[in-house]
Chains A and B, each alone.
Chain A
Amino acid sequence: MDKSYTLESLTKVEGHARLDVEMDGKNVKKAEIAVFEPSRYFEHMVRGKPFDLVPTISQRICGICSVMHTVAAIKAVENGTGIKPSPQTVDLRRLLLHASNLHSHTAHLFFFTAPDYLGVDDVMGIARKHKKKMELAIELQKRSSDIVKQIGGRSIHPVNCRVGYFNSVPDLGEVESMTEQFREIKQLSTEAAELFLSFKYPKFENKTQYLALQEKGVYDLYEGSVSVFGGKGFTVPCYRKNIEEETIQRSTAKYAMYKGKPYMTGALARLNISGSRLSPSAKKLLRKHKIKVPNFSTFTNNIAQAVEMVHLCDRALEILGKYDKSGFKEEKKQVKPKAGEGVAACEAPRGTLYHHYRFSPSGKCTYANIITPTCQNVRNMEYDMQQWMPSIIKESDANVKKKLEMLIRAYDPCFSCSTHFLELKLRR
């Protein structure tokens, strides 16, 4: 018996996407994700623009990861134009990334994921029936976005973070208040992590390839080499040789694979690769709830995000500790670009984000390529659907639909930022 499911519109995700699954008895004939976000052609739009304008355009790829796009773009511009940021500038960017990650994880976990596990339809249900949890989410959102605003000048599309420097830096009083904020956020994050560790997630394991940036000795989001779980890995400038972006006939998608196979990037990949470097408080939570690391259940991505929130607070406090006596110094605001080519990556909430640019001697952008985490994860979402469908096919149509949506949502997908997707079809 042929049975097909089409989820016309995937809800509670950022952007617009559609699932298409076709079954023949227990066999999966088709498991497709179509993303129908309109093309925006960022790689074209930044060409011809001066180097300092490029990050202010690229950051508009995504509203929720605008901080990560800003940082990745700036780093790639700097690598391409021979501009070197100071250690202080790098630290401020790290703080920005951590606060923004906390903010993004909170939005995804509470607004998009929690309704599935709390028996309500959506965030309005949480607001009505789980007032305390809504308050927790709002506190976390407010405090983390306040820090992004304090350092970046604006909570979405930060303006203060420039190629080479920050226009203004936090003063000693602000260092103190941010330290206090991160302490509070850590407590709230621990509460949130306990909540997301207590949910009963569907039992589904599908070991795949996991890719994440790994920095020497720390679990951070700013830089590093690309690590492959159980494999060799590669350096960021070699991304082209390792990550294949494939263009598919009859579809408008370019999607990424590693060694010809799908892979997962994001919080679960970071946990599997750098889990041993989590802060003691984060590790304690994993032990308390008997979470296996490494972990091959896609749903554990929700847990990985929640636990990572606690870790990122510890990491932020560690960085702020370096400035609690001296404060931040005014930054030198002169930069001189050279011609060249630069690639850079950082860890966004959903995974590794690559930006790549070339510049002319006058500092004009002549080439751009950007690979977003969702572009990398979509292929693995389909792989997961193929593997999971046979064991859930007996359930009612409504249940199957709900479960598939929960699965895709566990990736925290961000379809508006997948610049290359219009529609995604599985090649047969």
Chain B
Amino acid sequence: MVRPKVAFFGMTSCKGCYFQLLLVNEKLPYLLDRMDVVDFWMLNEAPKKADKYDIAFIDGAVSNHENAELVREVREKAKFVIAFGTCACLGGIPALRNPDEKQHNAYHKMVYGKEIAIKSYPHADPVHKHIHVDCHMYGCPINEHEIIEVVRDVILGKKPVEPDYPVCVDCKKAGISCLFKEGVPCLGPVSIAGCDAPCPASKTACDGCRGPLPDANWSEEAKLLKEHGIDRKKIDMMFSKYTGEKVK
């Protein structure tokens, strides 16, 4: 079997998805055996700086000029680009500041003081806003089993499947009883699945870390949350937690 040349890049994020990758645990040697890791600053002593990559993983949102340049360079060199994790797919937590775009100067001053030059964009973007992305892997953090599936698919020349159904399906699959029944308001019905529902499994409401499901019934979900005593402002905040964007 030909081992694909694989590279990993980090933009603006907490790097948790890469730790999830290193956490694949007993599967890590399996992965390392099947790919030639040519560039991964977190692991390599001396990145080989290959001219071409078969697969490039991009973690994190694009939030400054260097990020934007790097993703363009990666796109030119890579056959297959994977947006790795919610920050790369949707902007994620770094995009929480996007609605305050106009106050960038003010909050920069608040955090760093006035004498420090701003080096970041006023918004954190998903990678696909800058380059074409071949596959999205959602999750904050990503699901450790999904990595194995995606890498295997890409090696076999298949396009990995992106789940297009709500977290409720994952709950049913895992036999987790619905949190709404216990009076806990949950974002499962409007959120992308594929996580195996770890939050509902520990009686914690899904907060939609894999992003909003494109065809979700938002008004009905908002109504349900309101019935559970959550005010409209907080509902909007919950809906936009990983995108920085209001849902329509």
A residues with a Cβ closer than 8 A to B are: 9, 11-16, 36-41, 43-45, 49-50, 53, 56-57, 60-64, 66, 107, 111, 115, 121-124, 127, 134, 138, 141-142, 145, 149, 152-157, 159-160, 162, 167-168, 247, 249, 251-252, 254, 416-417, 420, 422
Contacts and interface: CB of A to CB of B under 8 A. Distances in A.
Given A16-B10, A39-B120, A167-B203, A63 B141 contact: yes
Greatest chain A CB density within 10 A among B18, B67, B111 is at B111
Contacts of B107: 41, 44
5 contacts: A12-B44, A44-B100, A44-B107, A60-B92, A247-B112
A417 B14 contact: yes
A12 B112 contact: no
A157 B29 contact: no
A45 B119 contact: no
A160 B44 CA distance: 34
A61 B14 contact: yes
A38 B63 contact: yes
Contact of B112 (A167, A252, A417): A252
A163 B126 CA distance: 30
Greatest chain A CB density within 10 A among B14, B44, B107 is at B14
Given A13-B42, A41-B111, A124 B17 contact: no
A63 B100 contact: no
Contacts of B44: 11-12, 121-122
Given A44-B111, A63-B15, A167-B202, 11 more contacts: A12-B43, A12-B45, A15-B15, A16-B41, A41-B108, A64-B15, A111-B22, A145-B23, A157-B209, A160-B203, A247-B113
Contacts of A66: 14, 16
Contacts of B141: 63, 154, 156-157
A57 B237 CA distance: 12
Nearest to B45: A121
B64 A43 contact: no
Contacts of A44: 97, 100, 107, 110-111
Contacts of B10: 15-16, 416
A153 B111 contact: no
A123 B96 CA distance: 35
Interface string B21-63: 0110110110010000100011111110000000000000001
B207 interface: yes
B204 interface: yes
B16 A64 contact: yes
B12 interface: yes
A213 B140 CA distance: 30
A121 B46 contact: yes
Contacts of B201: 153
Nearest to A15: B15
B105 to A, nearest CB: 12
B108 A124 contact: no
Interface string B73-117: 000000000000000000011101100100000011011110111
A41 B97 contact: yes
Given A63-B141, A124-B37, A157-B141, A111 B43 contact: yes
Given A16-B10, A36-B66, A39-B111, A142 B16 contact: no
A189 B15 CA distance: 25
